[in-house]
Structure 1
Amino acid sequence: MNETKTSLFSNGLIWFGAAVSIAEILTGTLIAPLGFGKGLCAILLGHFIGCVLLYFAGLIGAYTEKSSMETVKMSFGEKGSLLFSSLNVLQLVGWTAVMIVSGAAAAHSIANIGGQWAWSIIIGLLIIIWILVGIKNLNKLNIIAMGVLFVLTIVLSVVIFQGDLTSSLKGNISFGAAVELSVAMPLSWLPLISDYTRYGKSKKGSTLTSAVVYFFTSCWMYIIGMGAAIFTGENDIAKILMGAGLGITGILIVVFSTVTTTFLDAYSAGVSSVSISKKLNEKWVAVVVCGLGTFLAIFTPITKLEDFLYLIGSVFAPMIAIIITDYFILKKDYCGKALSLKNLIIWLFGFIIYRVFLHIDTIIGNTLPVMIIVVLVCVIVNKCSLVKRK
């Protein structure tokens, strides 16, 4: 492979930028009714589960030096992977729109410069600049952006946690549901992580750095959101920022965090598109995805972040469970085949089980039980296949 390898520091910057986002803070606000103590436990447990899965998914890409959707071919075959590549591009267009509309709404509430649409365009254009600079040339730009974000989020944290965190918001959320919301965000990066770990100089090191940096930073964002909601009694991120007395600082947090996170969504949509057709150029597909996301952010109503997260989980949690099982346990590789009907049926079973588990409240959330079931089914089906052959 002739690609330029990335350092541990570069991988860390990428995943710090991925975690610092309005979406993460907003999801943290949803956990506030639990109170700070229980909420913190749920955030840490959920992120531990999600980031362990993130590590193993990224490790496959690092070892094989393949993008996330290319690793899907190892379990579902050439044609079988087209389903997940297409779904991944669609969910990334959706994520791009969700991130832009969230960032634009927050920025508009802090500073009205002509309408929310204006902020959507500004954020969209900045993301396109990040895309055109390219993942390999972002080091200096990322160092500046992440440095600014790091300082600003510390300022935000200090302001928020000077308040009274002993109270809790009115509302109802179970501990298991809070754990699942905490799993959901790292889970949403499972179909993307190998797009970045495949370039790491150190295979295990770059993957571990990515997962660990994401774990701590994402937990931090959730805790900021939860703490801010408890402190201000408000779930609206813009009102939280204004209530904390952050004017221009709030704008910078909103815009930079939205750009650095959404860039990864758009870029990975470009990478996934190449798995669908080699004729496509990943950089220009990423620009188109950003344009579509900006259009959707301006002209369509986008709400219910938690429902979107659960939909992503139901599609990609069973998919990655099968890939991890095939690679680490069964040592199977279906790259040379058109498709693996067996794994597609197991995935469909996993999808249905995930949707069923959304109505079952467990203390460890839904993702882990579903993935354990899928792994067991995968192993049993393969063992039965071997017995029949004998």
Structure 2
Amino acid sequence: VVIGHIIGCIPLYLAGRIGAETGKSAMETVKNSFGQKGSIFFSVLNVTQLVGWTAVMIIGGGRAVAVIAEKYTGIYNSPLWCVVIGILIIVWIKIGIKNLGKINTFTMAALFFLTVLLSFVVFRGDPAGGTLGSMSFGSAVELSAAMPLSWLPLISDYTHNSSNPRKAALVSVLVYFVGSTWMYVIGLGASIFTGESDIAKIMLSAGLGLAAVFIIVISTVTTTFLDVYSAGVSFSSITDRVSSSTTAVIACIAGTALAVFTPIEQYENFLFLIGSVFAPMISILITDFFILKKDHFSESLNIFNFILWMAGFVIYRGFMAMETVFGSTLPVMTAVIVLATAAGKARELISRSGNQGGV
């Protein structure tokens, strides 16, 4: 859990730094490496995966609340709770990110208190007898890394207006690291100490009742709001004909529909696919911004970087078939950065040699 989050949070910090230092949203920073039209490809993929994440979050929250509600009503209705959560997310969108300050302060404080309570409930007993899972260490690391990696195409949407780029990116990533790792530990502890993997059943057995509903619903709403908000911002980098708020509402409705009418069995494959698309992309952004000091924002399409990204994508998919201690993300990102740096330096040398020959 810790190793995976460290691996994922390092590029997350660098991505946040790029957005904060350039003052650009996440998909606008992509134009720095891939050009104006090149970024459209990644923006479309980003909107698509954000709608998918919205569905994943809503269906997870809806099913968990339905389990708890069934205890008190005798009725299990996860589609209904998916719709309720979707409506609450739309309410969050309509309130607007600039007006959510006091509401978020209250909800985050309440969630923090209830999460501490949940932690005590999970770890207060003796470990229960359980069965060992079949997941390898490398795969577990990769799944942990996939969580912060899933925020790579979003973080700059929330750091680009900061006055202190390094501090904004660092604080954002540290808070995410602590919170996400904590949730992973609670989940792991729940399996070890209770022998149960369903968080809703754990909360019920702990007697949390309505508090459990609050934890699940509000945590789902506040997290998924970030997904649909960034979907709106990402779509705005493609066209400004539709407001980001309207796009966010559409993304929420689409995600809710997917949550109600589609299964969630391919969750792990979904996370792996995110990594294979965006890990090579951010590797090239990091190389251009921090190492080569190159900016291709004014270009229509940077074919050279696009080819590098395709190579990174293929390398990533190949690494997924192999078993490494550190998963796939770290070796692939390292390989892409080395490849992009070497190729960039070689192009500079060739360009200088050509200019000198012309003179």
- Structure 1 residue 299: deviation in Å? 1.4
Q: Which amino acid aligns with 1:296?
A: L
- Structure 1 residue 166: deviation in Å? 8.0
Distance between the aligned counterparts of 1:171 and 1:203, measured in 2?
Answer: 41
Residue of 85, 95, 99 corresponding to 2:43: 85
1:102 aligns with 2:60: yes
2:12 is matched with 54
Deviations 1:90-134 (A, max 9, x none): 000000011000000000011046611111111011111111111
Distance between the aligned counterparts of 2:55 and 2:26, measured in 1?
Answer: 21
Deviations 1:155-175 (A, max 9, x none): 110000012248653222222
- Structure 1 residue 361: deviation in Å? 1.5
Conservation of the 8 A alpha-carbon contact between 2:229 and 2:248:
yes
Residue of 272, 275, 280 corresponding to 2:237: 275
Give 1:342-353 correspondences, 5 Å limit. Answer: 342-353=304-315
Distance between the aligned counterparts of 1:178 and 1:192, measured in 2?
Answer: 23
1:63 is matched with 21
Deviations 1:59-97 (A, max 9, x none): 000001100000000000000000000000000000001
- Structure 1 residue 150: deviation in Å? 0.4
Conservation of the 8 A alpha-carbon contact between 1:85 and 1:275:
yes
1:257 is matched with 219
Conservation of the 8 A alpha-carbon contact between 2:142 and 2:326:
yes
Q: Which amino acid aligns with 2:320?
A: L
2:88 is matched with 126
1:33 is matched with none
Give 1:231-380 correspondences, 5 Å limit. Answer: 231-380=193-342
1:10 is matched with none
Secondary structure (helix, strand or coil) at the match of 2:63 reads helix
Distance between the aligned counterparts of 2:161 and 2:344, measured in 1?
Answer: 32
Give 1:140-219 correspondences, 5 Å limit. Answer: 140-165=102-127, 169-219=131-181
- Structure 1 residue 237: deviation in Å? 2.3
Conservation of the 8 A alpha-carbon contact between 2:228 and 2:252:
yes
Secondary structure (helix, strand or coil) at the match of 2:237 reads helix
How does the TM-score come out when normalised to structure 1?
0.87
Q: Which amino acid aligns with 2:337?
A: V
Conservation of the 8 A alpha-carbon contact between 2:128 and 2:195:
no
Of 75-84 and 296-305, the range deviating more from structure 2: 296-305
Give 1:4-83 correspondences, 5 Å limit. Answer: 43-83=1-41
- Structure 1 residue 259: deviation in Å? 0.4
2:357 is matched with none
Deviations 1:198-242 (A, max 9, x none): 122322111111000000110000000000011222222222222
- Structure 1 residue 243: deviation in Å? 2.9
Aligned CA RMSD, in angstroms, stands at 1.3
Secondary structure (helix, strand or coil) at the match of 2:162 reads coil
Distance between the aligned counterparts of 1:166 and 1:85, measured in 2?
Answer: 46
Q: Which amino acid aligns with 1:85?
A: S
Deviations 1:15-68 (A, max 9, x none): xxxxxxxxxxxxxxxxxxxxxxxxxxxx11111111111110000000011000
Distance between the aligned counterparts of 2:149 and 2:326, measured in 1?
Answer: 14
Distance between the aligned counterparts of 1:255 and 1:76, measured in 2?
Answer: 38
- Structure 1 residue 339: deviation in Å? 0.6
Conservation of the 8 A alpha-carbon contact between 1:229 and 1:240:
no
- Structure 1 residue 246: deviation in Å? 2.4
Q: Which amino acid aligns with 1:109?
A: V
- Structure 1 residue 349: deviation in Å? 0.8
Distance between the aligned counterparts of 1:370 and 1:133, measured in 2?
Answer: 41
Q: Which amino acid aligns with 2:294?
A: K
Distance between the aligned counterparts of 1:208 and 1:157, measured in 2?
Answer: 26
Q: Which amino acid aligns with 2:316?
A: Y
Conservation of the 8 A alpha-carbon contact between 2:284 and 2:337:
yes
Distance between the aligned counterparts of 1:98 and 1:52, measured in 2?
Answer: 25
How does the TM-score come out when normalised to structure 2?
0.94
Question: Which 5+ residue runs of structure 1 have no aligned equivalent?
Answer: 1-42
Conservation of the 8 A alpha-carbon contact between 1:169 and 1:229:
no
Percent sequence identity is 55
